[in-house]
Amino acid sequence: MANILLKNGEVFGADGNIRQADIAIVDTLIDKVGSVPSDWQADRVIDCTNKLITPGFVNTHTHAAMTLFRSYADDMALMDWLQNKIWPAEERLTAEDVYWGTQLAIAEMIKSGTTTFADMYSFMDQVAMAVEQSGIRAVLCRGMIGIGPNAELALAESKTLFTEWHNKAEGRITVMLGPHAPYTCPPDYLKTVCQLAEKLEAEIHIHLSETAGEVTDCVKQYGKSPIALMNEVGLLDHGVLAAHCVHVSPEDIIIMKEKGVRVAHNPGSNMKLASGVAPVPAMLEAGLVVGLGTDGASSNNNLDMLEEMRLAALLHKVNTLDPLALPAKEALKMATSAGAATVGLDKVTGTLVPGFQADITIVSMEAPHWYPRHNCASLLTYAANAADVETVLVAGKVLLDNRRLTTIDEEKVYHEAQRRGGKLCENE
């Protein structure tokens, strides 16, 4: 690894403010932020004049290989979409399909500034291989359907994934357990998941309270909300990354706060599937940790965290009729430091301070929408787009160099994604 100096950039600091500074990187870590001595020895200097330097974006909830279903089944209700389109197509997935779909997702994420993503899917060894080869950071779990024919196999594969990949790829891979949702994983199955989580000392990534129908059905069947049910089962005692949490009550939020549940907010997916608007301002006011996620590319339809920041900031303003509901700086925090906390990596990444991993996104401010620069955080949230992302580093390694991927063969990935995606959906 090399010593890298990022010079003369506008840096989004740990205090939430933006100021001009240099960043010195030694091996995988940030060494200095601010004024770097002139005699500091750099193997490479990156001139960041007219560039904004932020912590790499953290995508807190994805199904990466679902890039293969992008635009395949749009404009449908969630359960109709899942049961009649997505699940039947997924039954045809092979391990190689998941590998190439994940490579496509990683390419898209790196090119739009994401350095860490949390993923739930199948054939997760293939996802881990794609992560290892590409250089990105990831929090992975094997999705488990407790009512499906592979329920026990999914538990075994989850254990194997943890054993073989947790803290691997130079420490860039973290493994969680991934029970899909309360409506696909009955309480007895979830208790088994909890036992495995305790044995492995693993945390849990799960979909919770995504739709009103899910909550209604849960109350009808168990007499309590999905959040309250998960609390009763004991799931919330194992460190939970909860995706969506759209239909949660004030009582649910109290439970979530007491149990330290971290929320992956997916505004784009929730809007497209008409799932509703999560009460994020109320969650933040209660002190919950909330990060941003894109969900899968089949329900978004991209993996662009800059777009997710803008959607979050705008959605909660109009939903509450309060222009102060979610300011630009809060949206940026949700995409970076709060996102890292959401996936359990807030001691590792998400903040530009010495000792943290050098997971960094450099955004060019040389475009018409970056002028005049009254407020760079506002410009990043409300005006910037993925094409502005110029350079991306993960663990001190440059993965995107002047908009060129350094670890992924884009042409090969696009060819495989087109071929495999077409084959999976050719009967439609």
- Listed by start position, the domains of the chain span 4-55+356-405, 57-342
Whether the CB-CB separation of 265 and 280 falls below 8 Å is answered with: yes
Q: Per-residue confidence at 79, pLDDT binned at 50, 70, 90?
A: confident
Confirm if 26 and 3 have CB atoms less than 8 A apart.
yes
Per-residue model confidence as pLDDT tens digits over 297-313:
988 999 999 999 999 99
Contacts of 131 (CB under 8 A, 6+ apart): 102, 106, 137, 138, 140, 169, 172, 173
Q: What average pLDDT does this structure show over 100-117?
A: 98
Tell me: pLDDT of 427 over 80: no
Is the CATH number of domain 4-55+356-405 2.30.40.10? Answer: yes
CA distance 360 to 137: 12
Of 139, 54, 112, whose CA–CA distance to 358 is shortest?
A: 54
Q: Which two tokens stand for residue 296?
A: 């899968």
**Quick one: tokens of 364?**
């060019």
| pLDDT of 172 higher than 90 | yes
Q: CA 181, CA 243: separation in Å to the nearest integer?
A: 9
> pLDDT tens digits for 332-362?
999 999 999 999 999 999 999 999 999 999 9
What are the tens digits of pLDDT across the range 364-400? 999 999 999 999 999 999 999 999 999 999 999 999 9
Query: How many whole angstroms separate alpha carbon 205 and alpha carbon 120?
Result: 8
Residues 6+ apart with CB under 8 A from 85: 72, 73, 76, 428
Nearest partner of 181 among 151, 216, 206, 148, judged by Cα = 206
pLDDT of the residue at 272: 93
Asked whether residue 105 carries a pLDDT value surpassing 90, the answer given is yes
What's the per-residue H, E or C state across 330-344?
HHHHHHCHHHHHHCC
* 205-219: burial string, b at 16+ Cβ within 10 Å, e else: bbbbbbbeebbeebe
- Apex CA 204: angle with CA 162 and CA 107, to 5°? 70
257-271 pLDDT tens trace: 999 999 999 999 999
pLDDT greater than 60 at residue 142: yes
User: β-strands 289-292, 262-265: how paired?
Assistant: parallel
Q: Helix, strand, or coil here: 316?
A: helix
Q: Which residues contact 154 (CB under 8 A, 6 or more apart)?
A: 142, 143, 144, 145, 148
Q: Is 366 helix (H, G, I), strand (E, B) or coil?
A: coil
8-state DSSP, 35: P
Pairing state between β 173-175 and 18-26 = unpaired
Give the angle subtended at the CA of 307 by the CAs of 271 and 126, to the nearest 5°. Answer: 90
Topology of domain 57-342, CATH: TIM Barrel (3.20.20)
Which residues have C-beta within 8 Å of that of residue 231, sequence separation ≥ 6?
255, 259
By the 8 A CB rule, do 335 and 308 touch? yes
DSSP, residue by residue, 94-152: -HHHHHHHHHHHHHHHHHTTEEEEEEEESSHHHHHHHHHHH--EEEEEEEE-TTSTTHH
Confidence of residue 425 (pLDDT cuts 50, 70, 90): confident
Say if residues 17 and 53 touch (Cβ distance below 8 Å): no
Lowest-confidence segment of 56-65, 87-96, 140-149, 183-192 by average pLDDT: 87-96
Q: What are φ and ψ of residue 202, in 5° steps?
A: -105, 150
User: Residue 91: exposed, middle, or buried by beta-carbon count in 10 A (0-12, 13-18, 19+)?
Assistant: exposed
**Up-side HSE of residue 363: CA atoms within 13 Å toward CB?**
28
Per-residue buried b or exposed e for 150-162, using 16+ beta carbons within 10 Å of the residue's own CB: ebeebbebbbebb
